[in-house]
Structure 1
Amino acid sequence: MSRTPTVARRLFDRFEPVHALTYFAPESREALGQAGFRGFWMCYFAARAAPLGAVGADVVTAVFFNFAPSHVARALPAAWEFASPADALGARETSAVAALNRCGVVDGPDVRSAADLLAAAAATAPLDGRPLFAANRALPWPDEPVARLWHASTLLREQRGDAHVATLVANGVGGRDCNVLHALADRVPREFIVRSREYDDQEWQSCVARLTDRGFVDARGALTDSGHAFKQHLEDTTDRLSLSAFDTLDDDDLRVLFRTLTPLTRAVVAGGDIPSATPMGLRRDDLDDDDAHLS
């Protein structure tokens, strides 16, 4: 089976918003708050870490990779004094379904088709070296079609995320440096990264200095040609590692997946909850195209 890694990237741009709605939808914040968690970041860390169990800050800092340890430590393990991982799991799934329904993603043939195909991929995707994917895959599969679509999307985005972390580690890029590299490559505004990943000027400049020492940043603070090439290498490697998740789907399956999933993603994006700039670096430039482009 010969497929370009671009397929994996285009699929990511489609299933990631289905999952990412979890972090931005008011339904999610309300449900997690009602469960007992306090504040946006406690809700975020508790909900995303819940498949791992009642873990502490060190585990989540390692697995999530790009957050400051002090940022995580303000939420965990304290979150588990307010509610349990099971409470977080229930709240995140039910609120995700409610948010998707509000965006117009409801039970129907396209939702069921996309959910079944994503689930088939997630059930057979490589597990090795992917701890957050493994923890999510161990959870029970929901029966309700929209919940199944969301769960499958969650598995595949964490499978890709684990592969991206492995790629960064193998290439000597730390969790804090990768955010700065992402911003310098114009994948996300610096202001958004500084706010959402908690940098002060001193830490930011320390990261820039390390990237400069490797020849990736010039004296003006911009990426060099080597820096751009390195960043593209990281993205291309992640795409290659993620492509095998879809080996169980034949070409006809992939065509159906693009045809059914792309309009659902458009509906989620049109809902307006997910900001245009996110750390995931989502691309929206071809969401009008539901062709798989396999040949």
Structure 2
Amino acid sequence: MSAENFNDLAAFVAVAKERSFTRAAAKQGVSQSALSQTIKALEARLGVRLLTRSTRSVSATEAGERLLRTLAPRFEEIEQELGALSALRDKPAGTVRITAGEHPAVSILQPALQRILPDHPDIHVEIVVDYGLTDIVAQGFDAGVRLGEQVAKDMIAVRIGPEMRMAVVGSPAYFATRPRPETPQDLTTHNCINIRLPTYGGLFAWEFERDGRELRVRVEGQVVVNHGAVRLASVLDGLGMAYVPEDQIVDHVASGRLIRVLEDWCAPFPGYHLYYPSRRHASPAFAVVLDALRTSDARKASARS
């Protein structure tokens, strides 16, 4: 196979997997128009249409799907073998792509990378903040970070964070005109800040547990957000009560900017895990990142004890 044909097939795989010329062009490092011409030329040589294009989307035809099923695993194997060659280098090198929610990206990934990247200048890490349950294989990620119960069974899951607790908080100004809730059911009479995440397919229900009794409360309020930082800013501004990870509000509670309620109903639960395909050979660069995240969890566990 000529280098030209190989590059054209790689371009087709990129577009078919991304279902977008724009995203595929960005990953390939070429212009959208150049990528479109490459696909047209490939279709002309093969004498069959591979992609169906519309103004909003791109999808593979029957022939395109067949070609993609054949090519995608082979290109992935080539990428893995090329990555494995870096093991022969004196220093680990390469790019590690990780998808994670905002909270673990800030509280777990960033501190770990701060420790290791200065000592590994040839390792590059791309973190994509995404609240959905991303298909890391289809989207070309090396790993993802999610809560333990959200990890698919066919993935290797490595704990990288301690147990977590949620907290219900409101500002002093908010509680100045409203009674503090004493049970989760009391929340139905309060102005609560909702968060909408694609993981849950709608508004996130607030979850509570005490003495083995579990409750899920659908709250209502004037504000709905889809971003943790906006949620925290809203509760600090007195727009309502919020249900947030405990570590995000400890300093605000200590300083008096926020008041915590229903603490005895907020039980700990399994924290964040890094997950990745069991059939994928870990590159040396990925192994360095994974080891840093494991070490980070061990340090936090030691600090708690």
- TM-score normalised to the size of structure 1? 0.25
- TM-score normalised to the size of structure 2? 0.24
Higher relative contact order (CA 8 A, sep 6+): 1
Larger radius of gyration: 2
